[in-house]
Chain A
Amino acid sequence: MKPWIHIALPKGRLGEKAYGMLKAAGYPCPAIEDPGRKLIFENPDLGVRYFWVKPSDVSIYVERGAADLGIVGKDILLEYQPDVYELADLGIGKCRMAVAGKKDFRDPVGQTLKVATKFPNITRGYYAGKCRDIDIIHLNGSIELAPILGLSHVIVDIVETGTTLRENDLQVYEQIVTISARLIANVASYQFKDEAVNRVLGCLEKQKEDVK
């Protein structure tokens, strides 16, 4: 019997795009396309089971083996450093991690820089590399508000089109890293399901080239 492959998808636009790729790559699951409150969807003929999880939780499900594979943004991998295989750059969900501030922002080099962010580890690593003393303000959403209200000097956040920044009179000052969606695998299940995992990987890689 073929082993089942469990795939964790991030809820939201990225997950839907990723499922689209998997579907086109030969791993469709009709049940997932019906709206409803179900959490797990399976296609027994292909031996594949999908589930939607919060994007920042995908790597946890995969690292702890609840999912064999997952689709996750590179930002989450950089922030949480999970012990997983990073098998492919899917080339979707492209954006960048950047430092942004108010248009009239001047770096207060003589004092501690206050940085608001959802990504404290990435932020800490970036500024440590520049030997800059910072004060991290860990927020969970609406990061853009922080410099407007004077809570922080700058923010470190994901910038996709820059529209939110522009509409709030903010602008990007430095780019930290470019981000895109990655296919990740649980290290142990890869050992026992390597054929099945590599088949998914091969089909996705081909799908990526076809899209190009």
Chain B
Amino acid sequence: MKTEAVWKTEEQAVFSLRRLYRSYGYGPYKLSKFEEYELYVRNKDFLVSDQIITFSNGSGRLMALKPDVTLSIVKNAPDEPGVVRKVYYNENVYRDYREILQTGLECVGDLGEYEIAEVVLLAVKSLALLGQDYILNLSHMGLVAAVLSACGITGPEGRRAMDCLRRKNLHELERLCRGREGAWEKLRVLAESRGGGQVLDRIRSVLTTGAERQALEELQDLWKVLETSGCGGSIRLDFSVGSDLGYYSGVVFRGYLAGIPTGILSGGQYDKLARKMGKRCRAIGFAIYLNQLDQSEKENSLDVDTLILHDGRTDTAILTAAAQEAAREGSVLVTTTLPSDRHWGRLIRMEGGQSQ
């Protein structure tokens, strides 16, 4: 039996992802299970869920079981010119009273264009390791923010517009644009566009302000790199990938695997989070929700290759020899009754000293 066959899907994924991240110079990052609760209260909107499990420690400080890894990494990010820290992690996080195995990487510090492209490429390569049929949706929050502000849609209405974009809800987005000249023409293109490089040309034709064009250029430069590296075919520019404008500033992306009903990878550039923590550094990273992989596991697979059924009178030495032989070829279960909760391939019955 191949070694990989005894690993669970999650374990295989962790192993192959770790190898990928190491090959690009990312080092392991081990976090403690607890972090001061205050960190999460200050950055509540950054978290996926607000159900945080808290404890008081010995000195009365309120501690939280980690609901998130990114905040802790950014909090400890280097803030000197020219320094970049590249780390990957494999941690359990706790949300809504559930334990979720999350693996991911963070690239923090004095980042340039190369690092941004590298992280997006690693996101695509991660998906390729997890399944054959995968798609990464890519958006740019700087561009979305610039377009919304050029349309005069800000504050609570900006959040509503973001929500419409995120849900591909064009009918309500149109209503929101009423009374704002040129807004619908622009936002419609942003909301409807989905695909490769041609999307950028379509969008360019409706942009009017310098801020919009600057953000588009940034996205275009990145797109060129991704296309040249051969990953363009599995990336879709799609502006429904929305994240909180208060934290995310540049590219944001979400990855999907065929057969898994929710996104499995989520990431982006969150320089504004670092700013909120009083740092000048930039940051980009992504997380993969490995617990979602359970859903793609094949049903009806065998629990054990060979089942040896004996009646209790069989000689132990004979049984041992038969079990050892079967275990060399695959997995074996020795039992006196047929288990109702297992599936097996071959059945060997042994009565007395004889196999039948």
- Taking beta carbons and an 8 Å cutoff, which residues of A are in contact with B? 63-66, 83-89, 185-192, 194
Contacts of B240 in A (CB 8 A): 85
- In chain B, what residue has the closest Cβ to A190? B168
Does B133 lie within 8 Å of A192, measured CB to CB? Answer: yes
- A84→B172 CA distance, assembly (Å): 15
**Segment 65-107 of B: residues with Cβ below 8 Å from A:** none
Question: If A86-B169, A87-B168 touch, does A192 touch B261 (CB 8 Å cutoff)?
Answer: no
B129 at the interface (CB under 8 A from A): no
Instruction: Show 21 A/B contacts (Cβ-Cβ < 8 Å), sorted by A.
Output: A64-B261, A65-B262, A85-B169, A86-B167, A86-B168, A87-B169, A87-B170, A88-B170, A89-B171, A89-B172, A185-B168, A186-B261, A187-B256, A188-B256, A188-B257, A188-B260, A188-B261, A189-B261, A190-B168, A191-B236, A192-B133
- A84→B263 CA distance, assembly (Å): 11
Contacts of B258 in A (CB 8 A): 192
Contacts of A185 in B (CB 8 A): 168
Contacts of A192 in B (CB 8 A): 133, 135, 256, 258
- A83→B168 CA distance, assembly (Å): 11
Question: If A65-B261, A83-B262, A85-B240 touch, does A191 touch B256 (CB 8 Å cutoff)?
Answer: yes
**Segment 245-264 of B: residues with Cβ below 8 Å from A:** 256-258, 260-263
Q: Can you name 13 extra interface pairs (CB under 8 A) apart from A64-B261, A187-B256? A: A65-B261, A84-B167, A85-B168, A86-B167, A86-B169, A87-B170, A88-B171, A185-B168, A188-B260, A188-B262, A188-B263, A191-B137, A192-B258
Min CB–CB distance A68 → chain B (angstroms): 10
Contacts of B135 in A (CB 8 A): 191-192
Does B262 lie within 8 Å of A187, measured CB to CB? Answer: yes
- In chain B, what residue has the closest Cβ to A3? B258
B204 at the interface (CB under 8 A from A): no
B194 at the interface (CB under 8 A from A): yes
Does B194 lie within 8 Å of A187, measured CB to CB? Answer: no
- A189→B194 CA distance, assembly (Å): 15
Min CB–CB distance A96 → chain B (angstroms): 16
- A189→B169 CA distance, assembly (Å): 17
- A186→B168 CA distance, assembly (Å): 11
- A190→B261 CA distance, assembly (Å): 10
Min CB–CB distance B332 → chain A (angstroms): 37
Does B194 lie within 8 Å of A194, measured CB to CB? Answer: yes
